[in-house]
Every structure is written in C-alpha cells, then in structure tokens.
Amino acid sequence: MSLKEKYITIKSIEDLSRCISLASLLEVSGHPKPGNIHRTRNFKETRYEHFLAGITAITPSFKELCERAQDKLSIDNNDYSHVRLGNFFKKAAEKMMVWQKGGNVLLGHILILAPLAAAAAICLKKQELSFSDFSNTLNKVISDATVEDTINLYDAIRTSNPGGLGKIDKYDLNDENSQKEIREDNVTLKKIFEISAEYDLIGLEYAMGFNIVLTEGLPYFFSVFKQTSDINIATVNTFLKILSGHPDSLIIRKSGLDSAIKVSEKAAEIIKSGGIHIKKGLRLTQKLDKMLQKKEGQLNPGTIADLTAGIILCALLFGLIF
C-alpha cells in the first residue's frame, strides 16, 4: 500500500498524545543506534534515563499544543497561526530542562514532532485524514507560523543551550539585537528555518515540507517493519538509512563536514549489507557504535535521531501497531 492510500487511524487527542510520547520513547530506546545514547549506552553527563524524564516532562505540553490546535481552529479554517508553535517550543524546553539534569536531551524532538502533532490534531478535528490532507495541513501549520513564533524559538534554544552552535552573520542567537532585527524584517518561523536549511537538517525539513520524514523515511520504515515485524529493527535501520544519505547536522557543528560524511558512508555500508537484521549488518553497526561512542558525543548523529522520532510518529498516526 502506498502512502497515498493511507489514512490517519487514531481517533482522539488522547490517542495522539500517546503516539507522540511513544514515538520519542521508541526512538530513544532503539539500539544500537550508532553514536546515540540508547538503552545500552550513556554519555558521561547524560544518561538514557534523562531522556525518559524529559519525554515525561514535555508530554502535558504536547497535549496542550494539540488541544489548542483544535479548540482555536478558525471558522473559515484559513489561518493556522493560532497553533503558536513557538510558544510550545519555549514551554516544552523549559519543562525538559527542569525535570532532569542531563542537559538538552530533546530539543530536536520538540522541534520535529510539534508541527506533525499539530497537523494531526487539525486533521482529526476536520476529519481530513488522508496522507495528502496531513501533508497539506503540515505545510500550512508551518507557513502560518508568525514572527512571534520565531522569537519564542530563539528563547527555547537559549533555554536548552544545545552544543556546537556556531555563529551566523545575521539573526545570530547570541546577538542581543537579533530579536529586534527579526521583528523589523518580519522573519517568520518558516523564513528562519529556510535560512538555516543550508546547514541544518531540521531547518531543511521545515523549509521543504518534511520531505525527509514523509517521503524518504516513512515508506522505508513501513517497508522494514513489514519485512521484519520488529519495531527495534525498523527504528535502527531507518535511522541508518536516513544517516546514509544525509550527513548529520550535529556532527557537522561539533566535528566538521568531513567527519559527518565519513559517518554517513559507514551507515551506507551497513544498509548495503542488509541492516541490523542481517548478522553482518548488526556486527558492522555495533562496531560503528563502539567507534563513535569513543568520541564522547562529538560524533553523535543526534539530528538524524530527531528525524527518526518524526518518522515513527507518522508511522503510528498512519496505523503502525507492533
């Protein structure tokens, strides 16, 4: 069955909230995702359990986002700015940091899952449940986000204090004049992500309608799960598949483009070997994980992990049961 023939199968905000949390839990638990924290790997200052605490902490914020997306839906349905993505980013980041001491564990999940969740909530409210409806709604949720959403995004990033942030010429996060410039230049959320799309995969997703999640990752995830009936294999193989084609933004920021390309090449070798459900593929994956872990987070494909969470959420929305 092609994606065009799939429909959202959940029935309520409660179902949607469960899917959001489960997507994060499954992504974080997937092992051995090379270079990531997962259920058998911790970093020095950040543990697997910190992710579990963070996921639990932001669950009410996600539910609030989805309820607002539905309750304040305008009568003519032509404006989705009421979703207030930036407000959610800010609140969720604050809760994530308060409820655990492992640092920024989930900002990428927050950014990737939020528009997907809001789009699903709107589709449920309007009973427009096809994959095409969902994709169109997702694009509109992003394009209707406002300048204020951009300001709140910056606050969320500052709160999370992610590692490896560089400096940009304009609208730099650490420039005290950035907020003023953003307002003066009417830099909406989509515009700021379009600017960052050149060097960040999350920005690229916002700019391109979540192309990696929806057209690359989701069909592959469904295919692997159909073949193996194993949720962990589907999670890790999808992670490796996306990594093989997209050098990770976090690795680029921390260790440079050449390092990121080399990691992607290793992932491509694993996919070519058949993935982790083949003995050779599993052996290569474990070897790569061990190698990347030695660098203590400097070669962590964290952005690919965030995209994988988005892929899993979409799979759950469109009928995945394991």
Domains of the chain, by residue range, sit at: 3-229+301-317
- The pLDDT value recorded for residue 172 is 82
Q: Are 279 and 214 in contact (CB under 8 A)?
A: no
Mean pLDDT of 16-29: 98
Mean pLDDT rounded to a whole number for the chain = 95
Better pLDDT: 296 or 206:
206
- The pLDDT value recorded for residue 163 is 65
- The pLDDT value recorded for residue 287 is 97
Is residue 202's pLDDT more than 70? yes
Q: In this predicted model, what pLDDT tens digit does every residue of 263-316 receive, in sequence order?
A: 999 999 999 999 999 999 999 999 999 999 999 889 999 999 999 999 999 999
Is residue 130's pLDDT more than 80? yes
Binned at pLDDT 50, 70 and 90, residue 177 comes out as confident
How far apart CA 245 and CA 287 sit, in angstroms, is 20
- The pLDDT value recorded for residue 165 is 61
- The pLDDT value recorded for residue 175 is 80
Listed residue (67, 58, 111, 103) closest to 86, CA to CA: 111
SS3 183: helix
Is residue 76's pLDDT more than 80? no
Task: Give the type of residue at 306.
Answer: D
How far apart CA 225 and CA 230 sit, in angstroms, is 6
Task: Give the type of residue at 154.
Answer: Y
The distance of Cα 42 from the centroid of its chain, to the nearest Å, equals 20
- The pLDDT value recorded for residue 297 is 86
Identify the weakest region by mean pLDDT among 27-36, 62-71, 77-86, 277-286: 77-86
- Token pair 């694993």: residue: 270
Binned at pLDDT 50, 70 and 90, residue 101 comes out as very high
Mean pLDDT of 224-252: 98
Better pLDDT: 170 or 36:
36
Binned at pLDDT 50, 70 and 90, residue 166 comes out as low
SS3 200: coil
Mean pLDDT of 60-87: 91
Binned at pLDDT 50, 70 and 90, residue 136 comes out as very high
> What is the DSSP track for 231-270?
HHHHHHHHHHHHHHHS--HHHHHHH-HHHHHHHHHHHHHH
CATH homologous superfamily of 3-229+301-317? Triphosphoribosyl-dephospho-CoA protein (1.10.4200.10)
Task: Enter the pTM of the model.
Answer: 0.96
Q: Which two tokens stand for residue 19?
A: 């899917």
- The pLDDT value recorded for residue 164 is 58
Q: In this predicted model, what pLDDT tens digit does every residue of 297-307 receive, in sequence order?
A: 899 999 999 99
Identify the weakest region by mean pLDDT among 26-30, 164-168, 176-180, 227-231: 164-168
